[in-house]
């Protein structure tokens, strides 16, 4: 068993097997069927199922030949390209454990992921979004002693070309289904993101049950506009759920209506996962584009709270089924059902996917609203190599403390009312406030910083940094370039800065972030 992984207690694992949640499926086995059909389309090319299967086998063999062994970790930072899918399948087949980073991550995040995971390889595109990832890889390699290989999609420079890796397929032992298949990134609340171990057993169930719930079948054409490495797009049911049953996956570089609507029409896309800001953009744009979107059957939306008027506007604009998804890379997924009454769909975030999901709402003040705790057949029992953090993130009986405040409707659906975790949810992107506070406090003229989320009509929340300064107050541009120079992902940069002379304090003398949030809330809302 992988060191640093917290398994389910034996009695739970036995029960999940006995009750059929964990039949012993592994993730690499998924697309071995359906051979002549188109499996995958990206901006540059397409793969049939047979081609995807063969490419995954060849790459799995090639990874082995490079000396990357079962159980080794590989940090994967690729954009929405077909090679991401091939690589993950190859890793699953070889028992190699991909660590799914986001394209926006930079030196600070990637070096940390390499160190924490002990990665032996790092996979990047040559350039993407105007950024040269080989420069990033040089910086990362310089501080990551365990890293032996950098594999590059495109022009490799001094590194190894990903295209040169595939080798003649060889028989390989099927990985243990109860072993770790991959490491996903958490939103993080206490600093840099934690790593979430997902086993073959648990994730295969996550994928299969989500696909069943969403009635995915071989006629499904699933469009990916969110980062494909995000749990929502990858496995809920996402790419893996669609490939499992012989549907088609279309990978798009971004979600802008001008680029994506014609693609929906051309490929006859039937299903897509969106975050609320994208759903709003799509709804607003719907009437401006004379494009045939009649193939759309299911719009999934999740990642941050969808406001009821926005849900109604989407129903008006598209006239297809809308589904709210309240999920987390840690595991638990809540979905509104395809046949739920419209009222539940527009006002709630759905209910747990599995009959084996155990949820508790810790209502301390009798208001009906409290922190959501959960455990189940696809919810982690501990973050990877995070013993201290695990003591606070889980109850002694193994429930994960989600940090989300929820209430239950009479119909049994959950409504997300807020959160207790010190995190900002910017357009579905999660950022730990303390992480940004740490960077800001290193800025020469900043003495102290407190970062809070401010309501934003477009993003849901934007990042507002309150600072106490010694000398001239930094501008937003200065802060952005400071963070860039520290190798921090651009999506973590504050959207606004507020200079204060003193802090509102709580009764125990800490900075009162609720009071700071109230200051922002009392102002007229920006429309972004």
Footprint on this chain of ligand J2J (rule: CB under 6 A): 187, 231-232, 236, 302-305, 324-329, 333, 349, 402, 404, 416, 419, 425, 428, 430
Closest distance of CB 183 from ligand J2J, Å: 13
DSSP 164: G
Closest distance of CB 394 from ligand J2J, Å: 15
- Residue 475: both structure tokens together: 């501008």
Question: H/E/C letters for each residue in 198-223?
Answer: EEHHHHHHHHHHHHHHCCCCCCCEEE
Choice between 142 and 411, CB closer to ligand J2J = 411
Choice between 67 and 309, CB closer to ligand J2J = 309
Choice between 220 and 349, CB closer to ligand J2J = 349
- Is the previous residue joined to 415 through a cis bond, with omega within 30 degrees of 0? no
Closest distance of CB 313 from ligand J2J, Å: 17
Closest distance of CB 328 from ligand J2J, Å: 4
- Residue 503: both structure tokens together: 């802090």
Choice between 375 and 430, CB closer to ligand J2J = 430
Are the C-beta atoms of 220 and 189 separated by less than 8 Å? no
C-alpha closest to that of 181 among 295, 327, 270, 73: 73
Choice between 125 and 238, CB closer to ligand J2J = 238
Choice between 5 and 232, CB closer to ligand J2J = 232
Q: Angle formed by the axes of helices 107-117 and 133-143, to 10°?
A: 50
Choice between 16 and 335, CB closer to ligand J2J = 335
DSSP 182: E
Closest distance of CB 452 from ligand J2J, Å: 16
Contact residues for 131 (Cβ-Cβ < 8 A; gap 6+)? none
Are the C-beta atoms of 404 and 372 separated by less than 8 Å? yes
Choice between 102 and 285, CB closer to ligand J2J = 102
Closest distance of CB 410 from ligand J2J, Å: 20
**C-alpha span between 99 and 111 (Å, rounded):** 12
Q: Which residue is nearest to ligand J2J (CB)?
A: 327
Choice between 166 and 370, CB closer to ligand J2J = 370
Closest distance of CB 467 from ligand J2J, Å: 26
**C-alpha span between 120 and 518 (Å, rounded):** 46
Closest distance of CB 30 from ligand J2J, Å: 17
Contact residues for 350 (Cβ-Cβ < 8 A; gap 6+)? 323, 324, 325, 326, 334, 335, 336, 337, 340, 413, 414
199: left (phi over 0), alpha (psi -120 to 50) or beta: beta
Choice between 121 and 329, CB closer to ligand J2J = 329
Question: In terms of DSSP H, where are the helices of 19-71?
Answer: 49-65
Across 143-286, where does the E strand assignment appear? 149-153, 160-161, 180-185, 195-199, 221-224, 248-251, 271-274
**C-alpha span between 261 and 257 (Å, rounded):** 5
Closest distance of CB 98 from ligand J2J, Å: 16
Closest distance of CB 378 from ligand J2J, Å: 11
């Amino acid at each position: 068993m992988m060191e640093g992984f917290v398994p389910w207690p034996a009695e739970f694992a036995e029960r999940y097997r006995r009750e059929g949640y964990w039949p012993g499926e592994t993730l690499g086995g998924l697309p071995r069927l359906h051979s002549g059909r188109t499996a995958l389309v990206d901006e540059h090319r397409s793969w049939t199922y047979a081609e995807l299967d063969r490419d995954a086998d060849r790459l799995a063999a090639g990874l082995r030949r490079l000396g990357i062994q079962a159980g080794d970790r590989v940090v994967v930072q690729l954009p929405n390209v077909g090679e991401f899918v091939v690589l993950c399948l190859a890793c699953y087949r070889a028992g190699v454990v991909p660590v799914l980073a986001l394209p926006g991550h930079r030196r600070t995040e990637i070096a940390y992921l390499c160190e924490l995971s002990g990665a032996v390889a790092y996979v990047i595109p040559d350039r993407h979004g105007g950024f040269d990832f080989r420069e990033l890889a040089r910086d990362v390699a310089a501080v990551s002693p365990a890293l032996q290989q950098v594999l590059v999609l495109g022009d490799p420079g001094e590194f190894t070309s990903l295209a040169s890796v595939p080798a003649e397929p060889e028989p390989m032992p099927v990985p243990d289904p109860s072993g770790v298949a991959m490491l996903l990134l958490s939103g993080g609340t206490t600093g840099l993101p934690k790593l979430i171990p997902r086993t073959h057993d648990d994730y295969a169930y996550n994928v299969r049950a989500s696909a069943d719930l969403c009635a995915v079948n071989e006629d499904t054409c699933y469009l990916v506009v969110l980062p494909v490495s995000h749990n929502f797009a990858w496995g809920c049911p996402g790419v893996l759920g669609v490939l499992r049953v012989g549907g088609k996956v279309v990978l798009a570089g971004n979600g802008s209506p001008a680029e994506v609507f014609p693609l929906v029409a051309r490929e006859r896309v039937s299903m897509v996962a969106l975050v609320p800001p994208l759903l709003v953009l799509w709804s607003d744009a719907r009437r401006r584009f004379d494009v045939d979107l009649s193939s759309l059957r299911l719009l999934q939306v999740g990642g941050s709270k969808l406001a009821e008027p926005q849900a109604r506007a989407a129903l008006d604009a598209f006239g297809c089924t809308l589904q709210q998804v309240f999920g987390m890379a840690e595991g638990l997924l809540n979905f509104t059902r395809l046949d739920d009454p419209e009222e539940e769909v527009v006002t709630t975030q759905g209910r747990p996917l599995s009959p084996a999901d155990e949820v508790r709402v810790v209502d301390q003040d009798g208001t009906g609203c409290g922190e959501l705790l959960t455990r189940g057949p696809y919810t982690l029992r501990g973050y990877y190599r995070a013993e201290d953090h695990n003591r606070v993130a889980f109850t002694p009986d193994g429930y994960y403390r989600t940090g989300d405040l929820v209430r239950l409707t009479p119909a049994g659906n959950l409504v997300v009312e807020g959160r207790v975790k010190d995190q900002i949810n910017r357009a579905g992107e999660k950022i730990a406030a303390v992480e940004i506070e740490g960077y800001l406090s290193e800025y020469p003229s900043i003495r102290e910083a407190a970062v809070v989320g401010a309501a934003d009509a477009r993003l849901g929340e934007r990042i507002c940094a309150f600072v106490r300064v010694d000398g001239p107050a930094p501008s937003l541009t200065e802060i952005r370039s400071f963070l860039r120079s520290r190798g921090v992902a651009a999506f973590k940069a504050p959207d606004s800065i507020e200079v204060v002379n003193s802090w509102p304090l709580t009764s125990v003398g800490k900075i009162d972030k609720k009071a700071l949030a109230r200051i922002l809330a009392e102002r007229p809302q920006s429309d972004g």
